[in-house]
């Protein structure tokens, strides 16, 4: 499907400024969860926006640079591994999204659209859009910023923990990552509340 086909694109309410919100990194065994929010500039069209998971790494980076340069407003935030383990991954993801929105400059008459089916507790009007990262350009842009920011952080963490291959799998539970955990144990950036890490922790890692 072509991204944002006019036949299938979400119908925008008149007179509202749309702020798209999305997260990245709910599934990995290691690293923080990231979130971003984006208000696009109606006078500048960024071609190629789509769900970040459907784009190549090179394309995501190119689009992220365009979004940062041409969007009306954008922000990125995260929730730590400690917060993930203490709150659970869903609540930590919502916290990261709330932080991203809170860091934007005040924008009047804004409608905040969140990818998925969970509503953020905010003073502004909020709506959840299932599969919003495929239907709403602003949410797609937010997904790209969140994903590229988290990938950059995992590349930084790879330099700290080179034995785990974070530069390749970004903390997701691949076969190589699970084998590295088996061989080397878990690190300070592993999510101990996630089953493979919890099992390794109980075994004395």
Report DSSP letters for 122-168, one per residue: -SSEEEEETTHHHH-HHHHHHHHHHHHHHHHHHHHHHHHSGGG-HHH
- CA 203 – CA 197 distance, rounded (Å): 10
**pLDDT at residue 1 in the model:** 32
pLDDT at position 201 over 80: no
**pLDDT at residue 9 in the model:** 59
Can you tell me the mean pLDDT for 56-75? 97
Report DSSP letters for 36-86, one per residue: EEEE--TTS--TT---GGGS-HHHHHHHHHHHHHH-SEEEEEEE-HHHHHH
Question: To the nearest whole number, what is the mean pLDDT of the chain?
Answer: 91
**pLDDT at residue 119 in the model:** 85
**pLDDT at residue 2 in the model:** 41
Instruction: Count Cβ neighbours within 10 Å for each residue of 130-161 and write b for 16 or more, e otherwise.
Output: eebbbbbbbbbbbbbbbbbbbbebbeebbeeb
What digits encode the pLDDT tens for the residues 135-169? Answer: 999 999 999 999 999 999 999 999 999 999 999 99
203 confidence band (pLDDT: 50, 70, 90): low
Whether the CB-CB separation of 77 and 96 falls below 8 Å is answered with yes
- CA 88 – CA 191 distance, rounded (Å): 10
Whether the CB-CB separation of 34 and 146 falls below 8 Å is answered with yes
What digits encode the pLDDT tens for the residues 80-139? Answer: 999 999 999 999 999 999 999 999 878 889 999 999 999 888 777 899 999 999 999 999
Can you tell me the mean pLDDT for 168-188? 96
CATH 3.30.342.10 fits 17-162, yes or no: no
């Amino acid at each position: 499907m072509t991204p944002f086909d006019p036949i299938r694109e979400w119908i925008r309410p008149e007179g509202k400024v749309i702020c798209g919100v999305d997260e990245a990194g709910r599934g990995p065994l290691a690293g923080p969860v990231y979130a971003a929010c984006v208000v696009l500039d109606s006078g500048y069209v960024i071609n190629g926006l789509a769900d970040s998971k459907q784009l190549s790494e090179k394309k995501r980076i190119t689009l992220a640079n365009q979004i940062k340069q041409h969007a009306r407003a954008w922000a990125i935030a995260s929730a730590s591994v400690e917060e993930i383990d203490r709150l659970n991954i869903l609540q930590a993801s919502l916290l990261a999204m709330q932080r991203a929105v809170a860091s934007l400059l005040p924008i009047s008459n804004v409608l905040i659209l969140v990818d998925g089916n969970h509503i953020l507790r905010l003073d502004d009007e909020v709506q959840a859009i299932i599969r919003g990262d495929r239907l709403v350009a602003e949410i797609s842009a937010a997904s790209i910023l969140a994903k590229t920011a988290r990938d950059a952080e995992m590349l930084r963490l790879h330099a700290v923990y080179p034995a785990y291959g974070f530069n390749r799998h970004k903390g997701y539970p691949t076969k190589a990552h699970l084998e590295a955990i088996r061989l080397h144990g878990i690190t300070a950036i592993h999510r101990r509340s996630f089953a493979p890490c919890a099992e390794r922790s109980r075994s004395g890692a």
